[in-house]
Amino acid sequence: MNAANKQPGKMRLVYMNPKKIRIPAVRVTSAWDPEDYEVFKRSLEADGQQDPILCVKEGENFWLCDGRHRLEEALLRGDLRIAVAYREGTLTEAKCRNLYINRLRGKTKASEEVTLIKDLRENDGLSLEEISSRTGMPMELIEQRLAVGKAEPYVLECLDNERIGIGLAFELSRLPNPKGQVRLLQEILVLPKMPPTKWVHDIIEESLKIIRERAEIPEVEEPTIPIRTIRCHMCEQRYSENEIRGFNICISCAGVAKDYIKELMRKRKEEGTPEQELARRVATES
């Protein structure tokens, strides 16, 4: 038997007022298409509640595990008694059971899973092994979702709206600079179609390499005496006075030389693949 099914206590059936059922603040809820939800509502109207709502009873509290849509419809109808199947346990067990049952259906939002796993880890104090045992989730998925939980809010928002998948959100969460995460995500969202995760992975690897290389460069102390700089009229970069050379040149040659140097500087900036250039831009966001 899967460890996720080994809940303490025996299942009991009771008929009770739906107002007494408490919904955990953090949980996952099955996602419904509007058409499917209408079919679900008509089924309840025609046949009533066929399956009991599942709860965990902790003291006097009945914590909801499964059946939020049925509970909400019962409250809207003003039902005074509904069928509830429950077993003795804790709020932590209710949240674990909620994740386990809804994952079996395959209709949960990844962002809700991220939030619930993070809550079980940080607020309920469960180890990764305990979360895996109680929810039936593989360890690598739990670690992935915990990493995604540290991503920028904009990344999580796009995950919640299903504009990106969990794999892409995980890759973005690997970037240590929050603005870099947002910058790369914005670049991805304007593409004609969603790129492969491998493409994003390679860009992030290049960005991380640039960030590591820059971290190893020792900081240069600011000089106590300001150094006067002069802008070169050809390459338009600024140099100290002793780096500037003067020479006589006619107006025509000056124009040709300036155009040539500008073209040379432009080509230097365009060196590397588009992906490498994007990686450089992402790495410099701070």
Q: What is the pLDDT of residues 190-219, one digit of tens each?
A: 999 999 999 999 999 999 999 998 887 665
Q: How confident is the model at residue 80 (pLDDT cuts 50, 70, 90)?
A: very high
Q: What is the pLDDT of residues 148-174, one digit of tens each?
A: 988 999 998 898 888 998 899 999 999
Query: What residue spans of the chain are helical by DSSP H?
Result: 34-47, 68-77, 91-105, 110-122, 128-135, 139-148, 153-160, 166-173, 178-189, 197-216, 251-269, 274-284
Measured between alpha carbons, how far is 1 from 100 in angstroms, rounded to an integer?
A: 14
At residue 16, φ and ψ (nearest 5 deg) are -145, 165
Q: What is the pLDDT of residues 81-105, one digit of tens each?
A: 999 999 999 999 999 999 998 888 7
Q: Is the dihedral of CA 176, 182, 187, 190 positive or negative?
A: positive
Q: How confident is the model at residue 69 (pLDDT cuts 50, 70, 90)?
A: confident
Looking at residue 222, its pLDDT comes to 52
DSSP state at residue 125? -
At residue 162, φ and ψ (nearest 5 deg) are 60, 30
Domains of the chain, by residue range, sit at 1-107
Q: How confident is the model at residue 260 (pLDDT cuts 50, 70, 90)?
A: confident
Whether the predicted pLDDT of 139 surpasses 70: yes
| Average pLDDT estimate for 48-68 | 89
Q: Which two tokens stand for residue 132?
A: 């895996």
Looking at residue 97, its pLDDT comes to 93
- Which residues have C-beta within 8 Å of that of residue 260, sequence separation ≥ 6? none
Q: CA–CA distance from 168 to each of 14, 30, 143, 145, 159 (Å)? A: 44, 22, 15, 12, 9
Q: Is the dihedral of CA 151, 153, 155, 156 positive or negative?
A: positive
- Which residues have C-beta within 8 Å of that of residue 2, sequence separation ≥ 6? 136
- Which residues have C-beta within 8 Å of that of residue 80, sequence separation ≥ 6? 17
Q: pTM for this structure?
A: 0.64
Locus of tokens 């008929």: 15
| Average pLDDT estimate for 219-231 | 60
At residue 63, φ and ψ (nearest 5 deg) are -90, 130
Beta bridge partners of 13: 85
What CATH number has the domain spanning 1-107? 3.90.1530.10
Q: How confident is the model at residue 2 (pLDDT cuts 50, 70, 90)?
A: very low
Whether the predicted pLDDT of 10 surpasses 60: yes
Whether the predicted pLDDT of 7 surpasses 50: no
Measured between alpha carbons, how far is 249 from 122 in angstroms, rounded to an integer?
A: 71
Contact indicator for 25, 88 with CB cutoff of 8 Å: no
Looking at residue 35, its pLDDT comes to 63
125-133 contact pairs (CB < 8 A, 24+): 126/92, 131/96, 133/3, 133/4
